[in-house]
C-alpha cells in the first residue's frame, strides 16, 4: 500500500497582474500548511476501471485526481501506470474543506502524481510533472514542488522557492463554498480594469511575516477578496475581524501569536 499527504496552502498575498489567453495572471506568496492535509492512498483492488473512493459528490470526470491520471497516461504512455491502476484503487481521506481557498483539489492531484511516479517508477522529472499539472490546475505546480513557501506567478506555472520560516497559522472556514470560476469571473467583470501593478512592487522579496506586519487590510493583500464579497455577499458577515483571506475560497487565517 502506498500513501502520501496532500497539504493545504494559504495565499499570504495574491495580486492579479493581467489577463491573457482567457486566463488571469498573478503574483502570489503560497505557504504550505503542514498540519492540515488530505491523505492519498493506493490500495490493492482488482478494478475494471480507474477507481477513486472518498470524494463524495464529485463525478469522476470532474475529479482533479482522475484528470491527473489521464494527463500522466497521455504524456508517458507507460503501460506500468495503466496496469497498476487495474490492481489498485485510489482512496482519499479528505480533511481540507472544498471551495475554501486552501487548494485541496489541486493538492490531491499533485500528491497523486508524485505518488504515482514513485509507485510506477515513472521516468519523469519533477519539472515535467509540474508542466503536466499546470494543464489541469493553476495551483498544482506549487504542490508538485512541495516547497514550504514560494512566490508563484504567471498562470501559476512559475514557482520560485522562498527561503523563510513558515508561520504558525490559525484557519477559519465558514460553512460556505466559493466557486473559483465564479470569483475570477466576477473579478474580470468588476475589478480587472482597476488593477495597479505598481502597488505591490517588491512584495515578493519580503518575508511573509514582514508583509502581514505592514499590511493589515485583507482586500489590499488579496485582489480576489473583493470579488468574492461581490459574488458572495454573505461572506462579509462571516468574516472574522482582523483576519486575512486566502485564495478565492471562504477561508480566513491569522498568525497564531497575532491575537
CA distances 195 to 184, 186, 210, 214, 217, Å, are 14, 14, 23, 20, 16
Q: Which residues contact 144 (CB under 8 A, 6 or more apart)?
A: 110, 113, 114, 126, 129, 130, 133
Q: In terms of residues, how long is the chain?
A: 259
**Can you read off the three cell numbers belonging to residue 150?**
514560494
Q: What is the C-alpha separation between 240 and 162, in angstroms, rounded?
A: 29
- Is residue 235 within 8 Å of 176, Cβ to Cβ? yes
- Is residue 9 part of the annotated active site? The answer reads yes
Catalytic hit among 9, 15, 117, 226: 9
- Is residue 139 part of the annotated active site? The answer reads yes
- Is residue 61 within 8 Å of 209, Cβ to Cβ? no
| Alpha helical stretches, state H, 93-153 | 104-119, 126-134, 140-145
Q: Which is nearest to 231 in space by CA: 194, 193, 174, 188?
A: 188
Catalytic hit among 38, 139, 146, 204: 139
Active site residues: 9, 139
Amino acid at each position: 500500500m502506498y500513501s502520501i499527504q496532500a497539504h493545504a496552502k494559504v495565499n499570504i498575498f495574491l495580486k492579479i497582474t493581467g489577463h491573457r489567453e482567457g486566463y488571469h495572471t498573478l503574483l502570489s506568496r503560497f505557504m504550505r500548511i503542514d498540519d492540515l492535509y488530505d491523505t492519498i492512498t493506493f490500495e490493492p483492488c482488482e478494478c475494471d476501471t480507474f477507481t477513486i473512493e472518498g470524494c463524495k459528490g464529485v463525478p469522476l470526470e470532474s475529479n482533479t485526481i482522475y484528470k491527473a491520471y489521464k494527463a500522466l497516461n497521455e504524456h508517458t504512455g507507460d503501460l506500468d501506470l495503466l496496469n497498476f491502476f487495474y490492481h489498485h484503487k485510489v482512496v482519499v481521506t479528505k480533511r481540507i474543506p472544498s471551495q475554501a481557498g486552501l487548494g485541496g483539489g489541486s493538492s490531491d492531484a499533485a500528491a497523486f502524481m508524485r505518488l504515482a511516479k514513485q509507485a510506477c517508477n515513472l521516468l519523469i522529472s519533477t519539472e515535467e510533472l509540474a508542466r503536466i499539472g499546470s494543464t489541469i490546475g493553476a495551483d498544482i505546480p506549487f504542490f508538485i514542488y512541495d516547497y514550504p513557501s514560494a512566490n508563484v506567478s504567471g498562470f501559476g506555472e512559475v514557482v520560485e522557492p522562498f527561503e523563510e520560516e513558515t508561520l504558525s497559522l490559525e484557519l477559519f472556514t465558514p460553512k460556505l463554498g466559493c466557486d473559483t470560476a465564479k470569483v475570477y469571473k466576477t473579478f474580470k467583470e468588476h475589478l480587472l480594469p482597476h488593477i495597479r501593478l505598481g502597488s505591490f512592487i517588491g512584495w515578493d522579496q519580503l518575508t511573509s511575516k514582514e508583509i502581514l506586519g505592514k499590511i493589515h487590510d485583507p482586500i489590499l493583500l488579496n485582489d480576489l477578496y473583493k470579488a468574492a464579497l461581490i459574488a458572495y455577499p454573505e461572506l462579509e458577515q462571516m468574516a472574522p475581524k482582523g483576519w486575512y483571506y486566502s485564495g478565492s475560497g471562504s477561508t480566513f487565517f491569522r498568525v497564531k501569536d497575532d491575537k
